[in-house]
Structure 1
Amino acid sequence: MKFIAFNVREDELKYFEAWKKKNGVQVDVVKEALSTESLSKVAGYDGVLALQTGTFPKEMFAKLNEKGVTVFSIRNVGVDNLDLDEAKKNAIKVTNVPAYSPNAIAEFSVTQLLQLLRNTTVFRRKVAEHDFRWAPYVGKELRSLTVGVVGTGRIGRAAIDIYRGFGAKVIAYDVYPNPALKEEGIYVSSYDELFEQADVITLHMPATPEDHHLINAETISKMKKGVYIVNTARGSLINTADLVTALKNGHVAGAALDTYENESPLFNHDLRNQDLKDSTFSELLKLDNALVTPHVAFYTETAVKNMVYIALNSAKAVCETGTADTLVV
């Protein structure tokens, strides 16, 4: 049994080494992402592990089949950038990491919202300029707000627990309601109902074609004036140009974005001293009421270890038994 892992970061290496030592399985790691060119490296391996937010090569699953690979394990949750029909067609089992640390992402989303509510981005800039005046940047208390949670899977439920700890009123919407939460009566019947009631809208849902640009000019117009929007889920859920307009005109009081619809050429790259070619993103970065981070909500020691271990354990299980608890297709 032999595995190869692509796009491996320095912070993952110690977990790969520890797993190899414990399981006695050969795992070779490379820093480059999976591309048409790097696919040539998969020959001779039983399983391939990958982690990338951008696109995978179109011919990937056909090539994996051709080279004798039987399992493709991603070290993350989302499979929206994978052609699962092609995987099935080429008899490649695909696994993911459905829950590496829900709390990591939930905690981060609340942390970012608190910064928006207390205008810390503005005050950080003002203090750097030696302007120590307060007004007009009065803050809001979370306990006085209604938080609308969109998506009540593991991460959404963890966020709900945290928001309740602050004393906030929580409402939620999910196409597939959680039975326990349904009994508590926190669900509203539609996106529109949540948009109309919530002071804060926080997204914890997967990306689907149906929900592309869920947040756009039309849906923003249905929200309260002064709403806050938090997205630690998928960038494609928000039409960024429409959001920028709403942030500028004040309909949206603040937005915390840990993901961006065109993030692949930006996030996790060193672009210092370079002009950004994405004008919408550049405009977003100039706004005091926008808090942007480069897809790091998941990024804790616990989560990184779990992502590596679960992906490797899944690949090993498929090779040994033909299936795994984390099997996607």
Structure 2
Amino acid sequence: MNMKIAVFSTCSYDQEFLEKFNTGHKVVFYEQSLSLLSVVLTKDFDAVCLFVNDRADYEVLEKLKDNGVKLILLRCAGFNNIDLEAAEELGIKILRVPAYSPEAVAEHTMAMMLTLNRKTNKAYNRIRDGNFSLESLMGFNLNGCKVALIGTGNIGKALYKILKGFGCKVVAFDPYPDENLISEGLVYANLKDTLCDAEIISLHCPLSDQSFHMINEQTLKFFKKGAMLINTSRGGLINTSDIIKALKSGQLGYLGLDVYEQESALFFHDLSNEVIQDDQITRLMSFPNVLITSHQGFFTREAMQQIAEITFANADAFATGAAMPNEIKP
């Protein structure tokens, strides 16, 4: 059975890959994100396909059900933007893409570390202006430095392998330690001991009630003064106000963000001709030791292909009544 699927938050690359790997479903693309205002577009659709900044709270889910939607296809791994209990109550199934090229995010994380450390972005701009000075471009050796890895799922595991190649001393925090990684030499510790004395802290855990604002005024006190923090996971892991204070005081020496707590109004859009209304991100952008990218860690050809293939495999499984290993339940 082929379904009628409404795809929200569509960019040109989404449409390119979803069209290429469609298994026969009727797909309609919308640039808008799903919200209480745009949910009217879902009338008479069997399913909706959502990304990280689409909203599916109780009100939206009720409207989806009224419009005949029976399935939410997430073309991402995270699901903190979905009210799982409400979906189950309303009888709407949720299927996700649990893993897609974790190496893509891990490699982007490493690129952010290297850029902040060796200041290649500043060097590039200097050279273009004819300035060949090395003043203020000094970095530090990654070989031998302590890196705190917060979360050792698929992405954390991929980053660990990269960091080992650089000769870093990696210590990890995860409520569920990976025995295979322990056998490879990874050391696990509690959160405080993992953060202490680390030159670099990298976040790779899902956003939940337990992990919300896990980097805050209190945990920042465990950081080595001048340490680097990288977040390519979820924006809500960080208390932005506390991070700004830590940057101003020098407690935090470098910050790399591929995600941001209020990113839904900013990321994936061209705002170059507009006044950005978010005071916190404009403050962050003013720091010389902050690097921000627009949730592009996943963005490789390989990852986009896997996302499209798994999304349609999920749709096929639902349509045919087959097993659905990627279903999310409360």
Same-fold status (TM-score > 0.5): yes
- Does structure 2 conserve the Cα–Cα contact (< 8 Å) formed by 1:228 and 1:255? yes
Residue matched to 2:100: 100
How far 1:147 moved relative to its partner?
0.9
> What's the secondary structure of 1:28's corresponding residue?
strand
State the one-letter code of the partner of 1:2.
M
Range moving further from structure 2, 46-55 or 144-153:
46-55
Structure 1 vs Structure 2 CA RMSD: 1.8
Q: Deviations over 1:242-300 (max 9, x none)?
A: 22222233222211111111111111121113222222211110111101111111111
Matches within 5 A, 1:1-329: 1-4=2-5, 5-20=7-22, 23-56=23-56, 58-184=58-184, 186-321=186-321, 323-329=323-329
How has the CA–CA distance of structure 1 residues 257 and 114 changed in structure 2, closer, same or farther, with 3 Å as cutoff?
same
How far 1:8 moved relative to its partner?
2.0
- Does structure 2 conserve the Cα–Cα contact (< 8 Å) formed by 1:33 and 1:52? no
| Unaligned 5+ runs, structure 2 | none
- Does structure 2 conserve the Cα–Cα contact (< 8 Å) formed by 1:152 and 1:172? yes
Q: Deviations over 1:170-205 (max 9, x none)?
A: 111101111212344523331101111321100011
How far 1:114 moved relative to its partner?
0.5
State the one-letter code of the partner of 2:4.
F
How has the CA–CA distance of structure 1 residues 247 and 128 changed in structure 2, closer, same or farther, with 3 Å as cutoff?
farther
Alpha-carbon distance in structure 2 between the residues aligned to 1:259 and 1:155: 15
> What's the secondary structure of 1:271's corresponding residue?
coil
Range moving further from structure 2, 160-169 or 303-312:
303-312
> What's the secondary structure of 2:253's corresponding residue?
strand
State the one-letter code of the partner of 1:144.
G
State the one-letter code of the partner of 2:176.
Y
How has the CA–CA distance of structure 1 residues 136 and 49 changed in structure 2, closer, same or farther, with 3 Å as cutoff?
closer
- Does structure 2 conserve the Cα–Cα contact (< 8 Å) formed by 1:151 and 1:205? yes
Range moving further from structure 2, 171-180 or 316-325:
316-325
Q: Deviations over 1:188-233 (max 9, x none)?
A: 3311011113211000110112222111222111111121111000
Aligned residues: 327
| Unaligned 5+ runs, structure 1 | none
**What's the TM-score, normalizing by structure 1?**
0.93
> What's the secondary structure of 2:244's corresponding residue?
helix
State the one-letter code of the partner of 2:37.
E
Alpha-carbon distance in structure 2 between the residues aligned to 1:146 and 1:264: 33
Alpha-carbon distance in structure 1 between the residues aligned to 2:268 and 2:19: 23
